[in-house]
Amino acid sequence: MYQGVLIKESINDELILDMVEIERAELWKTNDIPKYWTAVY
């Protein structure tokens, strides 16, 4: 089993999120574009 962080905005197909076990998600505010990054653990 793999563990780590996936930045949702970095993936092309969000259906991959249906195939992983998500422990938690965080919203990171940026000072640029995109305005927020979604970190999925």
For 12-24, what is each residue's pLDDT tens digit? 999 999 999 999 9
Q: Model pTM?
A: 0.79
Q: Report phi then psi at 4, rounded to 5.
A: 165, -165
Residue written as token pair 């919203």 = 27
Task: Kindly report, residue by residue over 23-36, the tens digit of the pLDDT.
Answer: 999 999 999 999 99
Q: DSSP readout, 17-29?
A: GGGS----EEEEE
pLDDT of residue 2: 82
3-state secondary structure of 16: helix
